[in-house]
Structure 1
Amino acid sequence: MFQWLTFIDSEGRIIDSKALRKRIFYGGVDPGLRKEVWPFLLGYHAYDSTSAEREYLMSVKKSEYEAIKNQWQSISTEQAKRFTKFRERKGVIDKDVVRTDRSLSFYDGDDNPNVNLLRDILLTYSFYNFDLGYCQVPI
């Protein structure tokens, strides 16, 4: 484990991104820090962004997500009958989500809210990038 806070300035910017990535490459990331560190590693947050800028970005993205989610959730049964691609895609996602690996504690148990969350995320992304579609990735 490394000292995460030594890489952050008073406004929340990453001080030396190259040294940080090298430290992570050789030492890994503590599971408790993954939520904070991975957005930088994946390019979601810029290393030179402030905490305030990241907070604002997250609120904008959350609003965008909720707006798109509301779009597909507002499709009535009657509309879905005429919206073949969405209906088919929703059916495939519903089947896939049920088959999520329940040996993982995050998805363990009946009526697990994380399974419903996964379903909502997949349907929302599918609706957001509708031309891309949805397919299973073979393992």
Structure 2
Amino acid sequence: MRLRLLACCYNDPEMRIDPDTVYPIRPDCRDDAPKTRFKPRGVHPTIKGEVWEFLLGCYDPKSTTEQCNQLRQQRRLEYEQLKAKCREMDTAVGSGRVITMPVVTEDGQPIENPNGGASGSEQKNSGAPLPKEVIDWKLTLHQIGLDVNRTDRLLVYYERQENLARLWDILAVYSWIDKDIGYCQGMSDLCSPISIILENEADAFWCFERLMRRVRGNFKSTSTSIGVRAQLTTLSTIMKSVDPKLHEHLENLDGGEYLFAFRMLMVLFRREFSFVDTMYLWEVSCLDKKVIINFISSAYY
């Protein structure tokens, strides 16, 4: 009942909230930030985190409050266990810091920084060779940090170091559990909105994990194919129908494969739209994984 009442609150003048005031842009960055193009729509900010957990499949819509709370507690405990495991491998996890320098070499040897000690983290290594999966994970930590420091820095939210560290922790833990893909550039763009709208770090982690179940194929690439190839093909088909002249023009420019849209599809338009508009588009796309391309293409009619 609470969700039903609040879902309509954009139409209630007393409850109407400007989303741009909920997720403010730093004053010195306002001229550089993408402008919000849509009127306030989508899920109201006061319940956005709660609704997203259902939209992304964290909970069964038919489950009771008691069942949701029970599952939430189980997942929070599981996340703390995963995070503790990662902290055993590298003490930077959960420390409030963000690693931006490599911590190990390709063969697993710790890298010392000029001031002594490991690069940004303490290495717990008895001298025995590290397992390959641990080395691979450690090799991603600084890349995660570099991306975190570039993600949504227009937002006031990321002026606080603890919020940057929280995003880094979530991505570091995720890269450990997803050993097939690990971490890839662009995941920080996907995780950031979830980390912002959900107060509890563990809840944000599992919400991000659910989102990745939907889009992790975007990050699977081989020497002969890229993860978003099918979506690029779909986009090409849509444009050929919606705007055949533009499609023909792009083909004449050798752009018929629509590779210019690679980033748009990879990170679900995070860098093409404002933070607020992106969340609305995601809420639409969560209703149907294929609807996002059709939604965007409708702008050409």
Quickly name the TM-score band, shorter chain normalised. 0.7 to 0.9
Conserved 8 A contact 2:3-2:47: no
The answer to which structure has the higher helix fraction is: 1
Letter in 1 for 2:159: D
Alignment of 1:6-45 (within 5 A): 7=4, 28-45=42-59
Alignment of 1:75-86 (within 5 A): 75=89, 77=123, 78=125, 82=130, 83-86=134-137
Which of these two proteins has the greater Rg computed from alpha carbons? 2
C-alpha distance 6-100 of structure 1, shift in aligned 2 (>3 A): closer
Question: In structure 2, how many angstroms separate the alpha carbons of the residues matched to 1:38 and 1:86?
Answer: 29
CA RMSD, 1 decimal: 2.5
Match of 1:67 among 81, 92, 115: 81
Question: In structure 1, how many angstroms separate the alpha carbons of the residues matched to 2:89 and 2:3?
Answer: 49
Q: Which consecutive unaligned segments of at least 5 residues does structure 2 have? A: 8-40, 91-122, 187-262, 264-270, 272-301
Identity value in percent: 32
Determine helix, strand or coil for the equivalent of 1:31: coil
Deviation of 1:28 after TM superposition, in Å, equals 2.1
Deviation of 1:105 after TM superposition, in Å, equals 1.9
Alignment of 1:1-139 (within 5 A): 5=2, 7=4, 28-75=42-89, 77=123, 78=125, 82=130, 83-109=134-160, 112-137=161-186, 138=263
* Corresponding pairs, count: 117
Deviations 1:53-112 (A, max 9, x none): 000111111111111111111115126973421221112112212222221122124xx2
Task: Report the TM-score, using the length of structure 1 for normalisation.
Answer: 0.72
Instruction: Report the counterpart of residue 24 of structure 1 in structure 2.
Output: none
Letter in 1 for 2:181: L
Task: Report the TM-score, using the length of structure 2 for normalisation.
Answer: 0.35
- Provide runs of 4+ in structure 1 moved above 4 Å: none
